[in-house]
Each structure stands twice: as C-alpha cells, then as structure tokens.
Structure 1
Amino acid sequence: MAAETKPKQKTAQRVREIISVFRQYDVLKSLSNQINGAQVRRAFETLGPTFIKIGQMLSTRPDIVSQPFADELAKLQDNVTEDPFEVVQKTLTQDLGPDIMTHFTDFEVQPIASASMGQVHLARLKSGIRVAVKIQHPGIKTTILTDLKILGRLVRMINWLPSSGVIDPKEIFQQFKKALEMELDSELEAKNTQKFYELNNGEGVFRVPRVFLDYCSARVITTEYMSGQSLNKFLQQADEGPVTKQRQNIANDIVANFMKQVFEDGFFHADPHPGNILIQPTETDFSDFGTDSLQQPLNRAGQHANYQIVYLDFGMMGTLDSTLIHNLADVVVAVNSRDPYKIGSGLLNISKVVGPMDKAKFYEELGTFIEPYYNTGLGSIDLEDMALKIVDLCRRNHLQMNPDVSLLMKAFGTLEGVVQQLDPDISMLEVARPFTRAYVLKNVNFRNELEDRLLDAYQLTKDIPQVTSRLKAALDALERGRLKVGVDFGHRDQVLDRIESMVNRIVIGLILAALIVGSSLLVQEKDSHTWISQLGIAGYILAAIFIVTFLASSLWHRLSRWRRKK
C-alpha cells in the first residue's frame, strides 16, 4: 500500500507544480491568444523535458500556432545535466546484457552531446568501427508518460489551444502524445535509421550512418560515427565569401534529394536543420582536367563532387502514403501553373474540413492571394512565407491540414532557409518541378486517360443535338410561367441551424408561459394543502428550473462565441 501511495503522491505533486507554473506565467491565456511567446517558452523550460518537446513540436505546426509564436517556441533549450558514466553503464548492461562492454575496445566516458531525452558517447567496436551510442536518461520515460497522463486530463477539462473552432485540442494532444511515445522508443528510431540508410545511402553524394541493431534497445541506439563539418559551421564560413560553384551544387543536391524523399520514397527527414547535416570533404576534384581516374560520387548535375553530405538524427521522420503524395504533386503542379481553382482543389484534398465552410469564399480569397504571384518569377517566391500564408488562409476557412503535410511544410521551410544561405538564386519550386513531372508521368495511366477523354468526346457529340431542344423547352416553360429556378446560397446550414434555434426558443417560451399560467390557476385553490395546489407549486418549481437552465445555456453559448471571436 505504501509503495502504491508514493507514485500517487508524486503525481499529485507534479499536478500542483504544473498548475502553479501555468498560473505564474499565464500560459493558458497566452496560448489561447497567441501572445507572450517568450513567457510560454520560459514556462515550458521550467517544467522540463515533456513540455520542452511539446513546445518544439508546436513550433513545427504553423497550422496551430502563428509564426511569431512558433519562432519563439523554436528557441526552447534543453537544460539537462549529464548522467555519470556509472549510470550509463548500468543502462547498457540492463538493456543489452551484462557482457555488453566486452564488445567495445574503447568507450569514452565523457558524452559528446546531451539533450532532454539522452546523451551520446563515442565508442569503438571490436571490428574497429567507430560508433556513436545514444543512451536515454534513466527515468525519462516515466517522467514523460506521467506528464502526458496529467496533460490528458487537463485537455479534457479545458480548451487551451488556439482557434478552438478549427482545432480540436484532444486530437492535437493525441498527435503529440503519439509522437513523444515514438521518440521514447529508440528501437523505432533505429528502424527509421535503417530504412533511411537503405533509401538514401550512396544516393549520389549522400551518406547515412549504418545502424547496428544488435546494439540497440528501447533505450539505446548505436550507429556508425560520421565525422565532418556541420552545415551550420559551413554556412558561417560561407557567409564570408562569394557564392561558389560548390555551394550551388550542395544546395541543388540537398533540395533534389529532399524531393526524392518526398515524391519517390514517401519517407522524409522531418528536421533537416543545419545541425543535422554534415559536409565531408573527399578526394580532390579532377573533373576540370577531363579525367575520371578517381571513383567519386556524382551530384545531380552529373559532375564529380569533392564533398559528401551526411544526414544525422532520425528521431523525427515524416511518412506519406501514395494518395497523399499524389495530392501533394497536384498542389505543386497547380502552384507552378498558378491556377487558384486547381490549388484550392489540391488544398481541399490534403486538408480536413473542421467547421462551416463557404467554398466560394475560400476560392475567392485564394484567387486574391495568388494574384500578386502571377507576375513573380518562381525563383523570387518566398516559399516558406507563401506556405504560411496559405495555412493561415485555410485556418480562417475552417480547414485543418493533414499533420504529415504540416510536418512536411515545416521541414520544407527549414530546408529553404538552409539552401537560400548556400545559394540565394535557387528556387525550390524549380527543383521540385521535374520530380512532380516524373511522379505524374510514372503514376498516370495514359491509356486509361485517353480512353476517358475519347468517351467524354463521344458523349459530347451525343449531347450537342439535345442542347437546342432543351433550350427551346426552357424558353417554353418560361413563357408559360412554369420555369423553376434553384437558388443556392452560402452558409445555408448555419442559417437553417439559426432558424431551428429560434423556433425551439419560441416553443420553449410558449411551454413555459403555459406552465406558469396553468400553475397560477391551480394555486388559487382555497385549500392550499390539496394535491391540486401542490401540483401548481410543482409547476412553478419546474418552470423555474427550465428558466435557470435556459439562461445558463444561453450565457454559455454567448461566452463561447465571444472566446472564439477573441
């Protein structure tokens, strides 16, 4: 009993701590109104790993939070002390067996990196391969699962996420909960690494670290150690000089490979920030001398490259099914053609309607938004800014984008920022065009398409002769006064709901009036103790209950509408 009471006491203490910090930093109001992002960030850092991760996830969801708010949450930092080597060794022996340390000829005591989930140590296997061993902090899983349980209860009680009319807090919480539980599972990250390795290692200039599944568990992941200069440092050095051919090639390679991940693999790196990409120098490039004496990787331009690009950290990956890829290809093709109707149709296919929507208004707003881009070259379009504005437009029209698409858009925006620093003249849309074209050519059955067009043409030849007779019939009906015209208007469902609500109020009012009048007649009985008088009093009480309930309901709905408008 004592052991059972202790976890309950800890949970209760954690609940009080969360509520106290939320009150201190006014988190609920700030989240609801998208204000005081720095204050929310400090609150999340105070509350530790779970909230830091949730904040970082929110920063990748422009469909939920505004961009300034997301930018502030993206600054969240992990403030975690390093675990002593004895603790690390204990985790290794518990998960991989007591003799695990005999498989390493060297294991560095000091970690080379530490974050909220775990820390990374360098080691060397007996085969001589240098590896990076990532070990979870002890107790981190229990801490995060406890916090998620508490948050699950809080979300059921309050609507603290913004735009409650468009976003379902419970659904968003479930998405974050699932993502955190997946990130806690190192075996899943190991499988992601293995899959990404199979799809991208050796693809042109790209390299991916091997994963050693025999040395992985739910809390440990062991991968090949890849040396090189982080793209972050490379960009800092690149800022000091002119745009070189190498920088242009690296930018094109990164974008082309990312398009391949999206449109060919349906499995993409969702966090391609400069810290997760390394640049490795290779042998000297002799291509200028017209010789091919050295075996070197080729970049997408078919030129020998004197560098390799390495991807790291596969904890956050995006997955796209074939239907979603097809719809995304349609959107990219539509953006290239700048057809608002096609773009709108594509957006509807990758989104979910979560409220009353006026399609005519949506297409009209989209057309107005797209118009300034008509005379803008594709290379001049700020793709991240354009994507964020489209997300905002969808949100205003009660459209919520598929979470995988939101993750892709954030990754796309991060990548655009990177490649723009490498080569300011590059256009991600221009690089995307051949991939979308190839995808369409690969997946469209032109024989079926031709047959469908021929059938449409045949049907049209049959319908044309009937047009004259139908037009004559319509004119005759108009002349006799029998022509019927169907009128469709926007917000029909809302208008009907409002009329129904008004009728219901009138009916309730009549019933209450009848109840009060009837009760008044009954209580006029001379003997107040008769059952007839008591029936009248019961009628009064029932009417009072109805009135109080009706007023409370009306006030609640008014308050909800006021909060949504705010």
Structure 2
Amino acid sequence: MNKKSSNRFKEIIKVFARYGLGYIFDSKNPQDKKSPENLRKAFEELGPTFIKIGQVLSTRPDLLPREYIEELVKLQDSVQEEKFENMKTVFENSLGIKMNEAFKEINFIPIASASIAQVYEGILNDDREVVIKIQRPDIYKNIQLDIAILIRILRFTKAKIKMSIIDPIEVLEEIESSTREELNFVLEADNIKRFREYNKNVAPVYAPYVIEELLSDRVLVLEKINGFKINSTQALRENGYDTNDIANKLALSYCKQVFEDGFFHGDPHPGNILISRGKLCFLDFGIMGHINHSMKKWLNLAIISIATKDKERLVNCILSIGIKKGKVNKLDLYDAISYMFDTYLETSIKNIKISVLMQEIWHITIKNNIQLPKELVSLIRSLIILEGVVSELDPELEIVNVIVSFIRSKNRFVILNCLEKEELVISMYSFVRDSIKIPSKTLEVLNKLSAGESKVELKVKDISNIIIQINKMVNRITQGILISALILSSSLIISNNVKPTYNDISLIGIIGYIIAFIFAIKLLISMAKACEYKKNNKK
C-alpha cells in the first residue's frame, strides 16, 4: 500500500468512526440509531468519489433498507463546485485546443455541479448555443482508489455485512465498472446517437445532438435545450400543454424504449426530461439500460402473465431469468406469487401501482434465493422513478395498464413469437403424437375397468412416522383419561373418609392425588418437548 493509499485508508476509517459507523468494519461496535443520516454526512465529507458511490447506492433498494435510500438521495445536490480554472485545464488537456478558441462565449458559473462532472453554458463560433460537460480532475483515479480501499476493508474485516443474497464486494466491483463506463464521455455520446436513431421517427421524443469535433473521453459538448422540467406543471399549463397528454406520451415512449428497442434511459427523473417545442427532451445518457432479445422475450411473457393472472408462467419467467443463489423451492415461490396475485390483482390490473408490484416481485425473489439480473434491477428502479413523474402529471394514469396495452397492441401474437421455430415444431409433433394415442389408451382403461382388472394404488409418504405420531397421541389421551379418573376416584375416597385417615383425611385419597399430580407434570413436560421439536423442525 503506497503512501497516498495508506493516508486515504486512514482518513476513511477515521471519518466513519467519527460518525458512529464503526460497526460497518467491526461487528462489536453497536449500530447508531442515526446511522442513515450519519452515513450521508460521512460520504459528503469524504468527497466526490464517495458521493458518487452514495448516489449509485441510493438507486439500489435491493441492497439497502428504505431509510438509507431516502437519506442517500439527498446526496444528489451536495457536491462542492470545482474551480473553473481546474475544469478549463481538463478541457484543454483532453482536446488539445484552447477553450477561448472553441467558444465565442462561456458562462464561468456552472449550471450543474455533479459528483463526476460540471456543466457550463457556452456559444460556439457559429452562434449555436451548447452545454459543456467536463469531468472533475483525477475523478476516475480517486474513485478507483476509494473502491479498492473499501474492497480491501471488506475482505479483511471480521464483521460480516449481510446484504440479503448479494455480496457487498460484488456490489462495489459493479459500481466501479458502471462508473468507468459513465466516465467515458465517448460512450455517452454513442448512447445519445443510438437513442436519437431509435427515436428519429417518434415525433414527441427528442435528444440533443453531439458536437463531434469537441468530444473526448472527458469532455462532451451538446446542443443546448431551452425548456422546463417535465414536472413543472404550472409552467406546462401556462404554455398550453395538457399534462395528461404528456404523461401518456412519456409512458408510451418508455414502453417503446424497453419492450421494443431494448435500450432505455436509466435515470428518468424530472431533471433529465425537459419539455421544449412540444417534445419530451431526454438528457444525461451516462446511465442507460440494455435488454437483449432473450430478456425482452421473457419480459413480454412476464407482463402477459400478470395481465392474464397466469401464476405458473410468471414463476417460470422468474426461474428462467433469475440467478439462483441457493436452494430454490418452486412450490414456495409459487405460493408467494399466488399470494401476490390474490393481494394485488384481486380486482383489476389498472388498480395497482407498478412500483408496488415490482418491489413485491423483488422481495419474493430475494426470499427465495433468486437474484434478478442487473439489467432488470436497473429497469425496476427506472420504472419506479418514471411512475413518480407520471403520477405528478396525471394521478389517474396507471403505468402498468399502459404497459399491458402497449404489448398487446404491438405484439398480438406475443406467445407464438416467443417460441423458436424448432421449439414450435417439436411441440406440435408431441401434441399430434400424444393426441393419436388418446382413443386407444382410453379404450384400454375402460376394458380393464369392466373386467375388474384396474387397481387404484394410494401411497402415503413416511407412513411409519405418521403411525408413531398417532401412537403418541393415543398414549397422551389415555394418560389424560387415567389422570382424570385418578383425581375423581381420590376425591370420592376423601369425601367418604375411607380409612386409614390422618387428621380426618383419607391417606389413600391423598396418595391418589400425589400420583395424579406426578403423572400430570410428566404429561405436560412430554407435550412441551413435542411442541419445541416441531418448532425446531419448521425452522
């Protein structure tokens, strides 16, 4: 460990300890009741790289409890501004040109200051208005260093951090990988161009174009979009927009991105969707979701399963796309899905929230040792954000109803389309072959029944154990009857004052009471042990 890494290691430990978060590294330390708030404050103090980690974690309800998520979301606007001179140096070193040569005008005050970059307004020499996104100095090296330190701490600490079925080290490695992609602005530019290509014929949807000559892995210059946030309902109404219409267009656009393109915006919060010239203008393409052909197939089937309340098919979808992290009991999974259907889909699908349904499926998979692929985790998180935006615009519009309608209209034969040609041929052959056998098999069964040759065989599993339990039950009932008889007879003997007596009380009656008491205690102990044994077996 070099000097810089060693100093940073000590700083991280010191900051976490100061905020009462030592339990993260040492299980002997008690957990502070204010730990969610303290975790946010610790991340803020540790700087932009930890703020970025916190922001990523705030989008992962599969990793952290709700109270932590709600606190870490506050990190979005907690990043200290970097000096313009430092950002100018990054720009010029990355592109090899002077900033004043590339732009006619630049606003030195950033319009946005995020954990990995700052955004400025400018005007090109040809008078086009643009926004300039520049990475913070050494941000990637700092993120790599901090994540490497956290991984080292987790590997060598004695404390065992339980995060459901998910390995915390894998989470950090995933954050490092996704951040590396987000920090490559060339990839973000490719995302923008791909999104524009997919939506070039979709009139209500727009994305800014990229200034190719001012593009590098650390600098991204884009067309400036003059508009207002999609949730600015007052501005929408003042400019003659119908909020219900915008909500419906947004939901349909997202359906197309997910179920048709397999390429969707990964962070559709209001700040990343502007309304301009009657269009939905998407911004910030650093986080994008990708769904391959196979995943799209299963997603389509899953939605159809929910719409048709087909529990068996939904279970099969989950088992097909999920990553098994332990023993999976299909019957338990089916029971959980059945309970979900009975709870949330009892009346009509339009009466449920997609966020509630998705999170319920999420919890069911975790409880059954199934981890959803990260593509689906990103999708679920995006749909939950989207539903919040849509509900602000049109509280009556249900996204899940829009999704089902979209799939039905775009793919009326979704079930047949999800079958491969070979699979369809084999299924048809099997069906025809078995159908031909039905008449002869039916006749054979009827002949055997009429001749008295058919037998019905019932098998009871673990019958010896059942017999043992019945014997124990009968023995306890017998003991209870004998104890009752002994108490009753002893009472009669005492009431008749049968000799010999002591202080005018029959000794035989007293002995009968004592024997009955001993047997009663023994019976109660036996019953208590049996109950404890059953509880342990259930666990």
Q: TM-score, normalising length from structure 2?
A: 0.76
Report the CA distance between 1:65 and its aligned residue: 2.2
Distance 1:216 1:377 in 2: 50
Any conservation in 2 of the 1:387–1:409 contact (CA below 8 Å)? yes
Match of 1:188 in 2: 187
Report the CA distance between 1:68 and its aligned residue: 3.5
Distance 1:175 1:34 in 2: 28
1:375 and 2:346 are equivalent in the alignment: yes
Report the CA distance between 1:462 and its aligned residue: 3.4
Distance 1:421 1:427 in 2: 12
Could you give the per-residue CA deviations for residues 380-437 of structure 1, whole angstroms, max 9, x where no partner exists?
A: 2021022112211211111111111011001000000111111111121221124323
1:265 and 2:267 are equivalent in the alignment: no
Match of 2:396 in 1: 425
Any conservation in 2 of the 1:384–1:412 contact (CA below 8 Å)? yes
Which stretch shifts more, 178-187 or 165-174? 165-174
Output the amino acid matched with 1:268. Answer: F
Output the amino acid matched with 2:348. Answer: G
- Identity fraction in percent: 32
Report the CA distance between 1:454 and its aligned residue: 4.0
Q: TM-score, normalising length from structure 1?
A: 0.72
Could you give the per-residue CA deviations for residues 524-564 of structure 1, whole angstroms, max 9, x where no partner exists?
A: xxxxxxxxxxxxxxxxxxxxxxxxxxxxxxxxxxxxxxxxx
Match of 1:82 in 2: 81
Match of 1:524 in 2: none
Task: Indicate the structure (1 or 2) with the bigger Cα radius of gyration.
Answer: 2
Match of 1:492 in 2: none
Distance 2:106 2:159 in 1: 46
Any conservation in 1 of the 2:52–2:116 contact (CA below 8 Å)? no
After superposition, the Cα gap between the structure-2 partners of 1:469 and 1:174, relative to the gap in structure 1 and judged at 3 Å, is: farther
SS at match of 2:51: helix
SS at match of 1:134: strand
Distance 1:25 1:340 in 2: 47
Distance 1:135 1:22 in 2: 30
After superposition, the Cα gap between the structure-2 partners of 1:26 and 1:439, relative to the gap in structure 1 and judged at 3 Å, is: farther
Aligned pairs, number: 450
After superposition, the Cα gap between the structure-2 partners of 1:476 and 1:318, relative to the gap in structure 1 and judged at 3 Å, is: same
Report the CA distance between 1:98 and its aligned residue: 3.1
Of 3, 8, 11, the residue aligned with 2:2 is: 8
Any conservation in 2 of the 1:277–1:312 contact (CA below 8 Å)? yes
1:276 and 2:272 are equivalent in the alignment: yes
Any conservation in 2 of the 1:380–1:427 contact (CA below 8 Å)? yes
Match of 2:62 in 1: 63
Report the CA distance between 1:230 and its aligned residue: 1.3
Distance 1:46 1:431 in 2: 43
After superposition, the Cα gap between the structure-2 partners of 1:64 and 1:363, relative to the gap in structure 1 and judged at 3 Å, is: same
Which stretch shifts more, 75-84 or 270-279? 75-84
Output the amino acid matched with 2:14. Answer: S
Distance 1:155 1:194 in 2: 39
Match of 2:233 in 1: 235
Output the amino acid matched with 1:375. Answer: E
Of 324, 333, 340, the residue aligned with 2:311 is: 340
> What is the aligned-residue RMSD (CA, Å)?
3.2
After superposition, the Cα gap between the structure-2 partners of 1:433 and 1:40, relative to the gap in structure 1 and judged at 3 Å, is: same
Of 235, 244, 250, the residue aligned with 1:248 is: 244
Report the CA distance between 1:155 and its aligned residue: 2.9
Any conservation in 2 of the 1:135–1:221 contact (CA below 8 Å)? yes
Any conservation in 2 of the 1:15–1:150 contact (CA below 8 Å)? yes
Report the CA distance between 1:362 and its aligned residue: 1.3
After superposition, the Cα gap between the structure-2 partners of 1:375 and 1:459, relative to the gap in structure 1 and judged at 3 Å, is: same
Which stretch shifts more, 211-220 or 45-54? 45-54
1:396 and 2:367 are equivalent in the alignment: yes
Structure 2: stretches of 5+ with no match in the other structure? 463-538
Distance 2:323 2:445 in 1: 39
Report the CA distance between 1:449 and its aligned residue: 7.5
SS at match of 2:2: helix
Of 426, 432, 435, the residue aligned with 1:461 is: 435
Match of 2:329 in 1: 358
Alignment of 1:161-310 (within 5 A): 163-164=162-163, 166-201=165-200, 203-232=202-231, 234-235=232-233, 246-280=242-276, 282=277, 307-310=278-281
After superposition, the Cα gap between the structure-2 partners of 1:354 and 1:454, relative to the gap in structure 1 and judged at 3 Å, is: closer
Output the amino acid matched with 2:392. Answer: Q
Could you give the per-residue CA deviations for residues 228-252 of structure 1, whole angstroms, max 9, x where no partner exists?
A: 01124x13667xx89x981111001
Any conservation in 1 of the 2:247–2:394 contact (CA below 8 Å)? yes
SS at match of 1:74: helix
Output the amino acid matched with 1:82. Answer: E
Match of 1:512 in 2: none
Match of 1:549 in 2: none
